[in-house]
Amino acid sequence: MNFGQAIEALKTGSRVSRAGWNGKGMWLGLQRQPEDLVTKLHPYIFMSDVNGVLFPWNPNNLDMLAEDWGVVGTLVQ
C-alpha cells in the first residue's frame, strides 16, 4: 500500500509499518485526544521502535513515496 492508504488505515485504528524498515517490530499508530483531557491536543502519529518505546514521528521523503506500507495490527483505543 502507499503512504496515503497507510494514513487512512491509521485513521481507522490500525497500526502500520514499512517492509523496508531495518528495525523489525517497528510500527506507527495514531494518537487521538482522550475525551477526558482538558488540554486541547491535535492528533499525532507515533512510532513504536524495536524496543517498544513510543515517540512522536514525522515522515521523510522516502517514507512518503514508499509503496511497501502494510497493516500490522490494530490499536486498542
Each residue's pLDDT tens digit, 2-55: 999 999 999 999 999 999 998 789 999 999 876 666 667 788 999 999 999 999
Query: How high is the pLDDT of residue 77?
Result: 52
Length of the chain as a residue count: 77
Q: What is the pTM of this model?
A: 0.85
pLDDT for the residue numbered 44? 93
Instruction: Return d(Cα 76, Cα 24) in angstroms, integer.
Output: 21
CA–CA distance, 65 with 50 (Å, rounded to integer): 23
